[in-house]
Structure 1
């Protein structure tokens, strides 16, 4: 392909090289930009080279492994960034402005524990600020929730993630300790220097094994070579707490589910020495345009979180 032909081709579709340019400028890396754009590194490199030939100026200088903007590159970035972001979000912005924030909808995916313990205060605050927005909470977990995110069936999800797929982004906001719960008269309720081995003689009441909590409990006991037994599998923290209070077993729960009312019927003891804390936060599909409603909801969860674009554009290994 001749130089003139290449120049004409990229003028005919200038958005692609400008998008690649903006990603490299923001992330400082061709490989990270290629991952964010779901392109190969050579494709991104060719687009940058064609853009530099067309404009007649070098746009980047390489310092170590990082790409930094030249003076000319900074000028182009200041011009191109709002154009690229505006075009990428044009469809959603158009729909959002037609409906308006006051007449829009917001779809949020979350598991039962998140809906029951974490979201009530956030939902109340959002409804007070945006009473005309129809808020729809989708009570889903695991693959169902990820499926809704990928199919744009929801705007975002709120919950906990251990393994973050490469096409999704997770911004943890809250952290809760793992807790042993047992009845007040149970031998473990007042045992000093509680160890993981002390739980072995007692049957555990756990969520179904397909869920993260069960898998995490099993992993920790296996890694420490501590035997354990499961007396009962049952879904829902409220059910588990009720069965523990009845003396049917003990359980390992996340502190998110413990309320002031539980103090009268349960003893909770930290297991932070053995289990990692559990984070909860915002989950999004990478590259998804957020409606004004979604931005407002995220801002309630943590002000300024949406502006931290590194949370939503980079993979879990890069945070």
Structure 2
């Protein structure tokens, strides 16, 4: 049964509050009850009644006459600022909904990647994808380490792009790009022009490295330990751009992956390859084994490396992964 009593009447009244708010916004915008009535396809008395009802409910005067024009009072200006986005949002709901439905028809693509991958590797790929598939809603999820793998396992993302050293059994990793390890320093640093660079030459200089929890720090430590070369860490800081900036300021030297070195860095940094001691870093595509790839995901992978799809189809046809 329908609820009766004062509370039900208040609920019914509030349910139709949009009409007086729409009438008020039109009058505030157009400065005239008659013009607002025309815009709303209502009679002038109907608009006037709605304005009066709204003023009674709020207990303030919302409009005042200024010459031949109705203008909002101080309270009316405040209400107009609050109500206009609501009224316009509801009035445009149907069109917005249809637009979103078209987006659903085109599909969406969720890709997980680390900061360096998003910053240095993906811009060209994303640009090419957007030009070919403008209707697909593409979301890049900025993740680190295990959090990206969790998104993959929970199907919160379609695929991941990044670097992996140890690949879990439930995931597949297809390396696509390889980047050398590089020593970076200011251009006038003693090591910049040293003819034959040795690992021991780095010992006197403090290193600027990412935090210990990250793979780069652990790899640097492992190589120095294996070669029994002492080293010092001058500063721990996250992000290749920050590290490059601090190196350029002369606060230390660093060991980075060549992926982060751009043309602009040539003016402020000297770089020397450390491939003799440190392994190259691969970047590629990570997917959950057995996951069906949507058409938009396949298109994205195709832009990175077509061979990945061919290898995946070979594996899913019943052969074991290599």
1:233 aligns with: 236
1:22-33 aligned at under 5 Å gives the runs none
Residue 175 of structure 2 aligns to a residue whose secondary structure is strand
Q: Tell me if 1:294 matches 2:303.
A: no
The TM-score with structure 2 as length reference comes to 0.65
Are the counterparts in 1 of residues 112 and 140 from structure 2 also a CA contact under 8 Å?
yes
Are the counterparts in 2 of residues 170 and 311 from structure 1 also a CA contact under 8 Å?
no
CA 1:301–1:219 in 2, change beyond 3 Å: closer, same or farther?
A: same
Q: Tell me if 1:208 matches 2:237.
A: no
Note the residue ranges of structure 2 that are not aligned, 5 or more in a row.
Answer: 1-100
1:199-278 aligned at under 5 Å gives the runs 199-278=202-281
2:169 aligns with: 166
Residue 161 of structure 1 aligns to a residue whose secondary structure is coil
CA 1:102–1:246 in 2, change beyond 3 Å: closer, same or farther?
A: farther
CA 1:186–1:102 in 2, change beyond 3 Å: closer, same or farther?
A: farther
Residue 124 of structure 1 aligns to a residue whose secondary structure is helix
- Partners of 1:256 and 1:112 in 2: how far apart? 12
1:68 aligns with: none
Q: Tell me if 1:150 matches 2:153.
A: yes
1:75-125 Cα shifts (integer Å, max 9, x gaps): xxxxxxxxxxxxxxxxxxxxxxx9899621100000000000000000000
Higher RCO (C-alpha 8 Å, min separation 6): 1
- Partners of 1:206 and 1:311 in 2: how far apart? 41
1:190 aligns with: 193
CA 1:318–1:291 in 2, change beyond 3 Å: closer, same or farther?
A: closer
Query: Shift in Å at residue 213 of structure 1?
Result: 0.7
* Equivalent position to 2:284, from 263, 281, 287: 281
The TM-score with structure 1 as length reference comes to 0.66
Query: Shift in Å at residue 304 of structure 1?
Result: 3.4
1:131-171 Cα shifts (integer Å, max 9, x gaps): 00010000001011111011111000000000001111100
Note the residue ranges of structure 1 that are not aligned, 5 or more in a row.
Answer: 1-97
CA 1:102–1:304 in 2, change beyond 3 Å: closer, same or farther?
A: farther
CA 1:100–1:135 in 2, change beyond 3 Å: closer, same or farther?
A: closer
Are the counterparts in 1 of residues 103 and 136 from structure 2 also a CA contact under 8 Å?
no
Query: Shift in Å at residue 298 of structure 1?
Result: 0.1
Cα RMSD, aligned residues only = 2.0
* Equivalent position to 1:141, from 125, 141, 144: 144
- Partners of 2:103 and 2:269 in 1: how far apart? 47
Residue 122 of structure 1 aligns to a residue whose secondary structure is helix
CA 1:311–1:172 in 2, change beyond 3 Å: closer, same or farther?
A: farther
Q: Tell me if 1:129 matches 2:132.
A: yes
Are the counterparts in 1 of residues 103 and 135 from structure 2 also a CA contact under 8 Å?
no
Aligned length: 220
Residue 310 of structure 2 aligns to a residue whose secondary structure is coil
Query: Shift in Å at residue 209 of structure 1?
Result: 1.0
Query: Shift in Å at residue 237 of structure 1?
Result: 0.3
* Equivalent position to 1:308, from 274, 290, 311: 311
- Partners of 1:167 and 1:234 in 2: how far apart? 32
Q: Tell me if 1:111 matches 2:114.
A: yes
